[in-house]
Amino acid sequence: MEKLNIAVVGLGRIGWDTHIPEILARADRFKLVAVVDASADRIEEAKEKYGVSGYVDLEQMILTHRPDVVVIATPTHMHYDHACLALKMGCDVFLEKPMASDYETACAIAECAKATGRKLMVFQPHRASAEANQLLSIMESGKLGKVFSIYAARSAYSRRSDWQALRKFGGGMLNNYGPHYVDTMLYMVKEKIARCFCTANVVASGGDAEDVVRILMQTQSGVTLDIDINQAAALTGPSWLICGQYGTLRSEKGPDDKQQFRIRYYDPNAIPKIQASDALAAKNRSYDNDVAIPWIEEVVPLDKRFEIPFYDKLYGYFALGEEPFLPIDETLYVMKLIRDCRESSEQGPKFEK
């Protein structure tokens, strides 16, 4: 099996805790040849722990090692410079999300890849998660009937004060968690968006970038997608609530605090059809009819076997010529929707701290 020589640029949270471990776990397919970071201390840490070469300068690293793939895990506002430099120097690029600080810059990165003939893919791991794929499987089973509403929440109380709390660096929840949930929703419904509306506020953050975001989208077939990103929530509710014509799915914590899905639905063949009456005297003065719904209730534990290893897909794309797990056009569409959300949020009133 051909090994890909990989370099990681950026030794912060995602580069150090996610990308490097994923590469090292696949030693039969990848070889970590070098790292790049602005911090001399982090470079020394990587040298000592992994025995790799370390550089402050990206261009020097590429000239020395000529890696097949460069993983860009630097702060968002640096993505264009780093990705385009690597592409122009003959490397394929695996780019951390969000693709860029804004849609226009994301399009410019895609143009760099097209002009150089190099491969480019963005790391959007939520669509590969066991959670997203198990939810998709349940939706496709038909138990819920035609799904008309999907609600997803990411809630906590976080008084954020790092670079992602500042807009000048591309920070904020629209760029941070927003691409994850927008991409996952689109992956699940496999539809384009007809319209969207968004609110965004700065509440608990120490910076000027939004930490409370609500995104409401409607697909072309009328499915409502509701994304609730609230980093100023001291109490939280379910992370997923999916409603269909025959039932509902709700995520919850089960035994040992492990995630599970509670599904309540009915078999449409086991219940008589109803028809609205135009009589103005409601039977028994009731708001409902007298047909009891034979509810079926299931509790389904989260099954890790639904997870799709993103780095296996990375190897398939960059080494074997397979179709990209996440085509760049889909990433650009996510970035466009994030732009539309931001423009929508800026038209409304702002929360005063």
* DSSP string computed for 57-114: -HHHHHHHH--SEEEE-S-GGGHHHHHHHHHHTT-EEEEESSSSSSHHHHHHHHHHHH
SS3 of residue 121 by DSSP: strand
Using CA atoms, how far apart are residues 211 and 229, in angstroms rounded to an integer?
Answer: 8
Question: 87 phi and psi, to 5 degrees?
Answer: -65, -45
For the record, the structure tokens of 233 come out as 């929530």
Using CA atoms, how far apart are residues 226 and 240, in angstroms rounded to an integer?
Answer: 10
pLDDT in single tens digits along all 353 residues of the chain: 689 999 999 999 999 999 999 999 999 999 999 999 999 999 999 999 999 999 999 999 999 999 999 999 999 999 999 999 999 999 999 999 999 999 999 999 999 999 999 999 999 999 999 999 999 999 999 999 999 999 999 999 999 999 999 999 999 999 999 999 999 999 999 999 999 999 999 999 999 999 999 999 999 999 999 999 999 999 999 999 999 999 999 999 998 899 999 999 999 999 888 888 788 877 777 777 778 899 999 999 999 999 999 999 999 999 999 999 999 999 999 999 999 999 998 876 666 66
Tell me the pTM. Answer: 0.93
Query: Using the 8-state DSSP alphabet, how is residue 53 labeled?
Result: E
Virtual CA dihedral for 185, 195, 232, 205, nearest 10 degrees? 110
Using CA atoms, how far apart are residues 60 and 133, in angstroms rounded to an integer?
Answer: 41
26-44 confidence digits (pLDDT tens): 999 999 999 999 999 999 9
Q: Specify whether the CB–CB gap between 119 and 113 falls below 8 A.
A: yes
